[in-house]
Structures are given as C-alpha cells and as structure tokens.
C-alpha cells in the first residue's frame, strides 16, 4: 500500500499510473514527505527545480528543513524531481527566468541538504514518476 499525502498537488499522472497498474494507494495526511509505504522509505516529489528552489531558500527553507528533520531515524528519503536533467551535478547549469537563484547556488543548497538530511536525489521525466515511486516503495503491480 502506498500512502499519498492529501496535500500533494498536481499528481494526477501518478494516481493514473497507480490505478492503471493496480497499485493500491490511500490518501492520508502525512507528517513528512509526499509518499511512503510505511517501511522507512519516504519520497518528496517536486514538479521541477523551480519548485525546489522556492522550497529550500529564504523563509520556505525553514518549513522543508523542519519536515526533513521529522523523518524517523534510519529512514531513507528520496527527493524525486521531475526535471530534464540526469544528475545532481547538472543542476549547476540550471537557470530559470522565474528565479533569481542560479543553478550553482541551488546545487550548493541541494548538496548541503543531501549531507545534512541524508537525502537521495532522483531526476526523472513526468511520465515515469508513478513507476519510480512504486519501485522505490517496493509496490508490485497486480
């Protein structure tokens, strides 16, 4: 069973994947992250790097930092980012006309969070997000 945070927005593509592939899920309020199966694996999904940039800088940074600090010890946390890059190092070349943050600065924030909260970043295309979530949480298709 995959638990989906009720506050998770714009995830219709993920829910469609679960339903199409017979993956059991339940919407409920999660104290941390957006998806879990209750086995010590947590997934925080970001629609893109712009969303992540907004979350980890300035006043929003306190909220996401507090969320990661609430993750139970010995857990694994994946930050799944729907972005057309292949690895963390590629973030250094990212830019957006909607953000004053440069890719190199965002990269440094991400590395800092990775070390401090033991995060694992995964970059993917929106079409594969549902499958990756199911695989990371060990859910089998019927």
Band of residue 27 on the pLDDT scale cut at 50, 70, 90: very high
Class in CATH terms, 2-136: alpha beta
Query: What is the per-residue pLDDT across 43-66, written as a single tens digit (0 to 9) for each?
Result: 999 999 999 998 887 666 788 888
69 in Cβ contact with 62 (< 8 Å): no
pLDDT of 141 reads 58
Lowest mean pLDDT among 62-71, 92-101, 130-139: 62-71
Token pair 């609430």 is at which residue?
A: 70
* pLDDT over 90 at 92, yes or no: yes
At 4-13, the pLDDT tens digits run 999 998 999 9
d(CA 98, CA 50): 8
Q: Using alpha carbons, list the distances in angstroms from residue 3 to 16, 54, 59, 63, 104.
A: 15, 25, 28, 21, 34
Helix 129-136 to helix 12-20 angle, to the nearest 10 degrees?
70
User: Which phi and psi (to 5°) does residue 127 adopt?
Assistant: -70, -20
Q: Does the pLDDT at position 81 exceed 70?
A: yes
- pTM of the prediction? 0.93
């Amino acid at each position: 069973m995959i638990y989906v945070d009720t506050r998770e927005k714009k995830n219709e593509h993920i829910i469609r994947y679960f339903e199409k592939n017979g993956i059991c899920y339940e919407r409920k309020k999660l104290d941390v992250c957006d998806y879990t199966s209750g086995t010590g694996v947590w997934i925080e999904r970001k629609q893109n790097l712009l969303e992540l940039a907004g979350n980890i800088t300035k006043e929003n940074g306190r909220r996401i930092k507090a969320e990661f600090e609430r993750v139970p010890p010995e857990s694994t946390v994946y930050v799944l980012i729907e972005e057309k890059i292949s690895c963390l190092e590629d973030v250094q070349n990212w830019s957006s006309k909607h953000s004053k943050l440069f890719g190199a600065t965002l990269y440094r924030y991400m590395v800092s969070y990775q070390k401090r909260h033991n995060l694992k970043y995964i970059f993917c295309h929106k079409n594969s997000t549902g499958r990756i979530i199911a695989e990371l949480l060990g859910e089998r298709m019927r």
